[in-house]
Amino acid sequence: MVRACDGAGLPAVVRVPSPAAAEVGRCLDAGAAGTLFPRSDGLPAVRSAVELAKYPPIGKRGLGGARANRYGTVPLDRFVVEANEATLVIVQIETGGALAEVSAIAREPQVDVLYVGPNDLTQALGIPGKYTDSRYQAEITRIAGAAKKAGKAAGIMLARAEQIPALRDQGYSFFTMSDRTLMLESARAWRKALQ
């Protein structure tokens, strides 16, 4: 998938299983531009995620001649500096621990994007799937505000493209959709066109 993105001129961001996942280094070594860390349950988890994504002195990522540095043909001292500057760290704000520390997480210097997983966030709030609930709406507004105040981007998973204008007005600029959503939207548009 990373090579396919490279061929299309798109930066690849890989969602790993957890903030402590061993796959982080492998994904970045393969050439991913960044990593999305789900269930980043508070500042310690976020700091662990950063350590996995960044080389020393910032983090603890292991260094080798991998695809990301053209199998060692890029001088390693230069590569480490460039990779630490360019590697995107996205943390999902979707648990009670993350909500409690969202401002501190936003201020972490190596975090680039605060990202909302709506399903898990509504679950954490005790209102699973209730996206119009005022508690959910207040939290997504607060998350976008924390990101903006810290000079970071706010991101969110979308169910429909029509959500973008309102979310953009709130401060969101990083949007994702699932493959299922893209197929459903396309199928609905085709069905409507045929009726």
> Per-residue pLDDT tens for 82-138?
999 999 999 999 999 999 999 999 999 999 999 999 999 999 999 999 999 999 999
Beta strand extents in 142-181 (DSSP E only)? 153-158, 172-177
Strands across the sheet containing 172-177: 13-15, 34-37, 88-92, 113-116, 153-158, 172-177
> Look-up: residue for tokens 């493959």?
179
> Per-residue pLDDT tens for 35-70?
999 999 999 999 999 999 999 999 999 998 899 998
Fold entry, domain 93-195: TIM Barrel (3.20.20)
pTM higher than the cut 0.85: yes
Assigned token pair, 175: 């949007």
What residue type is assigned to position 51 of the chain? E
> Per-residue pLDDT tens for 162-173?
999 999 999 999
**Residue extents of the structural domains in the chain:** 1-32+43-86, 93-195
